[in-house]
Structure 1
Amino acid sequence: MQVPDSPREPLLEPANEPLREPARLVSRRAVAMWTVDALLGMAVLLAGQVAWWWFDRGNTFWHWVVAAAWLVLGGAYVIVMPRWRYRVHRWEATAEAIYTQRGWLNQERRIAPVSRVQTVDLQRGPVAQLFRLASVTVTTASAAGPLRIEGLDVTEARELVDVLTAAAVAEPGDAT
């Protein structure tokens, strides 16, 4: 005996507004920053390749195979990854929540209510400073860890830190 398909009841009532991507893009200069970061990482691998070649002068066939693979894969990484990340990375802050979307191979979308914000930090590493960029990290009362927005123009990042800090301070309670 076959049970006819019955329409499933929705788990939750539909919201007034559908879930959407965060609206704001990171700075276009983030592509250059991520490219330089990737090139620096490739330089470390190149140094390892050169050291291996120097200390193991035996079978040069494998040196050439690894060097060719490194060149092709490393080149693809340096060219593709920054542009892909730029297309994925988005953020938005409203009076109610902070929305982030990030990653390139493993993509993550997070939403944190402003009422859960504990700290707001601004970071600028050497490469980010070169491109006048910054990252904002929002620590919340969440087991998933902090939200991070990378590649923001430094002025925009400072404004975001000020706005989120003011919103978190204005929220009653202890963000837990």
Structure 2
Amino acid sequence: MRQPPGNTIAQEAMKAWRITAAIYAVILWLATVAGVVVSYLYDFPWSIVIAAAALSAISTYLFVFLLPKFRWRRWRYEVFEQEIYIQYGILIVTRTLVPMMRVQHVDTKQGPILKRFRLATVTISTAATTHEIPALLEEDASELRDRLSALARVDEDDV
């Protein structure tokens, strides 16, 4: 079996993922509070509200504190002359080889949370699908985008 890819994504990715998860957790907690209000006003069973609060607490812990660290540890990538090797996943580890000759275009994208930490995601498009390498430092993402674009052009010229 092939060795895992050698390059990691930026460590600030964990912070960005935690903030994103916290935003979703706040929405989940607001729904839980709404359940408390509904339960109080309309004699709704409290057992359901308690179960929702427990589920909210467990989800918050998992998605805000625990999973970002595991996601960061698994995300790896490596660029070779003929292919891009990507590995990600926590319980189910996915290893993807993207042939350079299939690459149609390469983009970088950056939302407000990634921008706050000066991170960007590299998006690699083929005819069949799109692959992402998330949360690279802005400079690294730009260099990787340019390198992949150049390698894809060279491979195209060889055909």
Q: What is the TM-score of this pair, normalised by structure 2?
A: 0.88
* Structure ID, larger Rg: 1
Say if 2:8 is the partner of 1:22.
no
1:15-164 equivalences under 5 Å are 19-57=2-40, 58=43, 59-141=45-127, 143=128, 145-164=129-148
Per the alignment, in what secondary structure is the counterpart of residue 19 of structure 1?
A: coil
Cα distance in structure 2, aligned partners of 1:79 and 1:97? 34
Q: Deviations over 1:98-136 (max 9, x none)?
A: 111122244311011111110101110111111111111
Cα RMSD, aligned residues only: 1.9
Gaps of 5+ in 1: 1-17
Q: What is the TM-score of this pair, normalised by structure 1?
A: 0.80
Does the 8 Å contact 2:25/2:59 carry over to 1? Answer: no
Does the 8 Å contact 1:93/1:99 carry over to 2? Answer: yes
Gaps of 5+ in 2: none
Cα distance in structure 2, aligned partners of 1:104 and 1:36? 19
Does the 8 Å contact 1:110/1:147 carry over to 2? Answer: no
Cα distance in structure 1, aligned partners of 2:54 and 2:99? 48
